[in-house]
Amino acid sequence: MNQVLMIVGDATETVDTLYPYYRLQEAGLQPVVAGPEKRRYQMVLHEVKPGWTITKEWEGYTIEADIAFSDIVPENYLGIFFSGGRAPEYLREDKDLQRITRHFFEKNKPIGCVCHGVEIPARAGCVQGRRMATVPKCRFDLEVCGGIFVDAPCVVDGNLVSGRTYHDNGHFVGQWIELLLESRNP
């Protein structure tokens, strides 16, 4: 088993997504981009500019979804990655994505999560008692669902590896990939 799901939608953060996408390929794993529909999605770039207190957003690259959430058989995948950006704000309500998310938590498969990506497992009821990093403005989303916010560039809680923003990619993505490789060859 070599395939790893990467969850996207319109307004998925570009760097949150492409960094782990290419790192998976480097590790000999196959990223499978999944969205609400099998189509092309517009990603965005996010940054809090100096002097700003809110996030500024620009258009980023686009990415093609290989599969729609409704067509996913989660047993066929080694792990999953929840990217950030604004997409998780609406993706979290997708019943198929909630089903898929619960599978990875229940089966203890490797899960990677960054930034707003936390909103998906939180909504799916999977973060109770779990320690996670996320962007501070999503702390409430995590804690109201029973999760434990940790302000660190990499938080490992069993099969769950998380970072705050794309600035933490170099700290947490490698540890998530190690879990994927270990689970592939137990």
Q: Which residues of 29-42 are buried (b: 16+ CB within 10 A; e: fewer)?
A: bebbbbbbeeeebb
pLDDT band, residue 51 (cuts 50/70/90)? confident
Dist CA 74 CA 99 (whole Å): 9
Residue 93 belongs to what domain range?
3-184
Structural domain count, the chain: 1
Q: Is the pLDDT of residue 28 over 90?
A: yes
Which of the two residues, 186 and 88, has the higher pLDDT score?
A: 88
Between β-strands 56-64 and 40-47, what pairing exists: parallel, antiparallel or unpaired?
A: antiparallel
Q: Is the pLDDT of residue 186 over 80?
A: no
What CATH number is attached to the domain comprising 21?
3.40.50.880
- pLDDT mean over 127-133: 98
Lookup: tokens for 95: 């019943």
Cβ contacts of 37 within 8 Å, gap of 6 or more: 65, 68
pLDDT band, residue 184 (cuts 50/70/90)? confident
Residue 51 amino acid letter? G
Dist CA 123 CA 12 (whole Å): 17
